[in-house]
Amino acid sequence: MLAEIHKKLDERYQDMVDIRRYLHQYPEVSFKEYKTAQYIADFYEELGIPYQTKVGGNGVIATLEGGKPGKTVALRADFDALPIQDEKDVPYKSKVEGVMHACGHDGHTATLLTLAKTMQEHQDELPGTIVFLHQHAEEYAPGGAKPIVDSGAIDHVDAVFGTHLWATTPLGVLETSKDVFMAGADRFQITIQGQGGHGAYPHETKDAIVIGSQVVSELQQVVSRRIDPLETAVLTIGVFEAGTTFNVIADKSKLVGTVRYLNADLQDKIISEMEKIIKGVCVANDASYDFNYEKGYPPLVNHSDDAELILKAGKKIEDIHTSQEVVPVMGGEDFAYYTLAKPGAYFFTGAAKEGSVYPHHHPKFDIDERALPIAAKTLIQAYFDYQEKR
């Protein structure tokens, strides 16, 4: 049956492309994906597959019960876009000003919808139950995964699998990890209040730019001198805002950044060390500060057996020439909440587009659409392999 399913998915390649390109033209940002959620619901309505809407927010979950006994397995695809202007010169360029699918979620959705249509045709032969989990708001914490888990919508699920079309990995390559796969991702903002004044009289001021610069410099010690060298962490300042003109000393500066880590136990240590440094620098300069730390997605930790199942599934797909375990990446993913709640694994499906290899979240981001059926085949192969194993 799997050979027939794979063949049908190949035959429906253009369907996947058409869905992906339609969604690419009409993107919606996190928590505002109302029309996209309706599009997904309408697809299942037309197929006659039972579904729920507004799950944990804008989530849509469809359920296909097989004709044979087996486990219940969720296959997840996210569907939100990013606040980025699309700069590609392609017919399917985003038609929404300042919004684009710059991370491949349109492709994830096209993959899962087409897989659902295909599997409905084999419903009587299907062991177990497939839960088609369409998740909103992956891009912006607190995200859509946690409220979906908290809603109880997947309490009955035995395992969860998902994939990300990975634009910097070659077509035909599958990548995953048997342990930590993606980093925990947090956000912070530091506001420093000094005392402004004339640029010619710095001794009468408390220069918020100088103080902020000291904070930026000293914060680099958190990773280099206060964390075990055998641990992996990143502390990045992405925004430094201060000042209004050339001859005025700024009274306030704002720093915004991100913290990434692979070991969840590091989070509180990093927060504590940051607070010490910020407080110390500001006290030394007679300035005040506000430190707002937002805990984001935890590290994504795959279950070893399920990741091994994914690697073996990849070796059964003709279009995949390399199925490999890789070191973790420092990007974050709220799929982490699913593997905290249930067994499962996440993996990358290579989708690098020849001649246009731009990273995720880039204004010219695009994918090789031939990766769509590869992703679908791997997901359903993993589903059947899980049923057989269990």
Same domain, 138 and 45: yes
Same domain, 9 and 117: yes
Is residue 208 within 8 A of residue 219, CB to CB? The reply is no
**Per-residue pLDDT tens for 289-345?**
999 999 999 999 999 999 999 999 999 999 999 999 999 999 999 999 999 999 999
For residue 273, the number of C-alpha atoms closer than 13 Å in the C-beta half-sphere is 17
Same domain, 286 and 308: no
Phi, psi of 344 (to 5 degrees): 155, -175
d(C-alpha 122, C-alpha 5), whole Å: 8
Q: What is the pTM of this model?
A: 0.96
d(C-alpha 157, C-alpha 243), whole Å: 53
Same domain, 328 and 348: yes
Spot the catalytic one: 138, 139, 319, 333: 138
3-class state of residue 156 by DSSP: coil
What mean pLDDT is predicted for residues 269-276? 98
Q: Which domain holds residue 261?
A: 184-297
**Per-residue pLDDT tens for 137-161?**
999 999 999 999 999 999 999 999 9
Spot the catalytic one: 28, 33, 78, 80: 80
Same domain, 32 and 132: yes
What mean pLDDT is predicted for residues 32-56? 98
Identify which of 74, 82, 168 has the alpha carbon closest to the alpha carbon of residue 115: 74
Among residues 233, 268, 297, which one ends one of the domains? 297
> What is the CATH classification number for the domain harbouring 220?
3.30.70.360
- Residue 48 scores a pLDDT above 90: yes
Is 138 catalytic? The answer is: yes
When divided into structural domains, the chain yields a total of 2
